[in-house]
C-alpha cells in the first residue's frame, strides 16, 4: 500500500500549503466547466429554425406584452422568503459553538429570534401575506 502525503502541510500551524487542495480543486473545477462549455459549443447541433428561436412558455402559446406590470405581492413574498431563509444561516455558528458561547451566546440568539419574530408579527398584522386583494 502506497501512502501519498503530497497535499498535507508539513507545519503544525496555518500556512499557505493548507489551502493547496482547495486551490487545486478550484482550478480543476474552472477547467472542467470551461472545457464542457467549449465542447458543447463546438460539437453541439446548430439548427436555428424559426420554431427553435421562438420564446418557450411551458408549451403555452405566447400572447401579449411581456412588459406588463406585475403585482407587487410576488416580489414582496420573494423578499420575505429570502429574508427569513437567510436568517436560518445565522443559527449555524451558534449551533456549532453553543458550549463556548455559554449564556451570553444564548441570550444573543434569543434576542436575534425575538427581533425576527417581532418583524414576522408586524408583517402578519400588516396583511403582507394575504394574496386576495
The 8-class DSSP code of residue 61 comes to P
Grid cell of 130 as nine digits: 394575504
Where residue 65 falls (left for φ over 0; alpha for ψ -120 to 50; beta otherwise) is beta
pLDDT tens, position by position, for the chain (133 residues)?
Answer: 454 555 444 445 678 888 899 999 999 999 999 999 999 999 988 888 887 777 766 766 667 776 777 777 777 778 888 887 888 888 888 888 888 888 998 998 899 889 888 988 888 888 877 766 5
Q: Tell which residue, 55, 78, 51, 73, has the closest CA to residue 65.
A: 55
Give me the CATH topology for the region 16-126. Answer: Methane Monooxygenase Hydroxylase; Chain G, domain 1 (1.20.58)
56 close to 62: Cβ distance less than 8 angstroms = no
In the chain, where are the structural domains located? 16-126
Amino acid at each position: 500500500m502506497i501512502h501519498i502525503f503530497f497535499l498535507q502541510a508539513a507545519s503544525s500551524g496555518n500556512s499557505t500549503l493548507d489551502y493547496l487542495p482547495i486551490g487545486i480543486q478550484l482550478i480543476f473545477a474552472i477547467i472542467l466547466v470551461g472545457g464542457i462549455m467549449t465542447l458543447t459549443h463546438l460539437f453541439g447541433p446548430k439548427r436555428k429554425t424559426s420554431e427553435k428561436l421562438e420564446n418557450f412558455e411551458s408549451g403555452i402559446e405566447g400572447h401579449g406584452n411581456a412588459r406588463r406590470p406585475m403585482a407587487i405581492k410576488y416580489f414582496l413574498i420573494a423578499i420575505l422568503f429570502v429574508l427569513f431563509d437567510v436568517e436560518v444561516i445565522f443559527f449555524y455558528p451558534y449551533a456549532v459553538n453553543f458550549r463556548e458561547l455559554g449564556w451570553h451566546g444564548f441570550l444573543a440568539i434569543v434576542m436575534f429570534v425575538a427581533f425576527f419574530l417581532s418583524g414576522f408579527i408586524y408583517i402578519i398584522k400588516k396583511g403582507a401575506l394575504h394574496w386576495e386583494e
